[in-house]
């Protein structure tokens, strides 16, 4: 992995902007992968958080690219606030589910289907 990154760094025309973009995408993939594959409710929240980190990165990158970093910053602050509230709500629901089922198992959530 390091090798991969290292080779990218040395390529001409590849500033850290492109690196940020690629790492942002990779982190979104990692987050989505986490949400899809895990069996643990809280891990889903972690996956969501990781994806949101990547989105934050992309927004800051966008501000950088168009030179409007101040606006991007204000976006990021708002996103962080929302992100936290969503995380709290998700954790609250997960804990409530834990109280019902006695586990954080996602496979409990099969009552609603069809």
Partner 1 sequence: MNLLIALLSEGANLLWFMIVLPAVVGILVWIFREYHLPRLLLVVSSAMINLVCALSLDQAEGFARSFSFGPCGLELAFRIYEFSALFLTLTAAAFLLVSLYSVVFLQDQKSAGLFMFYMFISLAMINGALLSDNLGVMLFFWEGILCTLFGMLLINNLHQPKTAVRALVLSGTADLLLMLGIIITVVQAGTPKFSEIQRLPITGVSAVGFLCMLLGAVGKAGGMPFHSWIPSAAEDAPTPFMVAFPGALEKLLGIYLSVRIVTDLYDLQPGSGMSTAVMLLGTLTIIGGVAMALIQKDMKRLLSYHAISQVGYMVLGIGTALPVGILGGLFHMLNNAIYKSCLYMTAGSIEKQTGTTDLREFGGLAKRMPLTTACFTLCALAIAGVPPFNGFFSKELVFDAALESNTLFYLGALLGAFMTAVSFLKMGRVAFAGELKLPMGKKTIRETSFGLLLPMGVLAILCLVLGVVNTWPLDQLFGSALGITEVYSGWPHSTMLVVVSLAVLALALVDHIYGCKKTGSALQAADHIYYAAGLKRIYQAAEQGWFDPYRWLVSLAGVFSDFCVLIERQVSWFYDTAAVKVLLGTGDRLQQANDGSLSRYLGAALLGAAGVAVIFIVML
Partner 2 sequence: MDAVIYLSLGVMLVAGVMAVMLPSMTKSAIALAVASAALGMILYELGGIWAALFEISVCSGLVTVILISAISLSNIDKEELPKVYEDKKRMALLPYVLIAGGVMLVAVALWAGFTLPVADQAANLGTYLRGILWNNRQVDIWGQIIVLLTGAVAVVVLFRERD
Partner 3 sequence: MPILDYITVSFLVIPLIILVLNNLFSKQFVERINFKLVGVVAILQMALAVAGFSLLSAAHWEDYRFSLLWDWTMEEAGYFAVNSLSLVFLFCIGFVLLVAVLVAKATVEQRKTAFVNLVLTLLLGMNGMVMVRDLFSLYVFLEIVGISSFVLVALFQLETGLEGAFKYLVMSSLATVFILTGLAFVFMQTGSLQYAQAWADWLSVQGTAQLYTYLAFILLISGFALKTGVVPFHSWLPDAHQSANTAVSILLSGIVIKVAGIYGFIVLTKLFPGFPPVALALRILGLLSIVVGALFALRQTHFKRLVAYSSVSQMGYILLGLSSGTTLGFLGAMVHIFNHATFKSTLFTNAAALSAQAGTLELGELGGLEKKMPVTGFSSITAFLSTAGIPPLAGFWSKLLIIMALWKSEAEGFAAVALLASILTAAYFLRLQKKVFFGQLPEKFGAVTEIGGSVKFAELMLSAVNIAVGVGFPLILLFFEGRGLL
Which residues contribute to the site for partner 3 (CB under 8 A)? 28, 31-32, 35, 41, 44, 48, 51-52, 55, 58-59, 61-63, 65-68, 71-72, 75, 78-79, 82, 85-86, 89-90, 93-94, 96-97, 100-101, 108-109, 111-114
Site string for partner 1, 44-73 (x = CB under 8 A): x-----------------------------
Is the C-alpha dihedral spanning 53, 56, 60, 61 positive or negative? positive
Which CA distances in Å does 58 have to 20, 43, 84, 87, 105?
7, 23, 18, 20, 32
């Amino acid at each position: 992995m390091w090798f991969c990154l290292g080779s990218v760094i040395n390529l001409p025309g590849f500033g850290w902007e492109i690196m940020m973009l690629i790492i942002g995408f990779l982190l979104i993939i990692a987050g989505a992968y986490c949400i899809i594959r895990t069996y643990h409710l809280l891990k889903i929240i972690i996956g969501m958080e990781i994806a949101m980190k990547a989105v934050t990165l992309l927004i800051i990158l966008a501000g950088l690219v168009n030179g409007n970093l101040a606006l991007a910053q204000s976006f990021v602050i708002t996103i962080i606030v929302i992100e936290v509230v969503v995380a709290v709500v998700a954790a609250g629901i997960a804990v409530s589910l834990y109280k019902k089922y006695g586990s954080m198992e996602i496979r409990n959530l099969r009552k609603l289907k069809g």
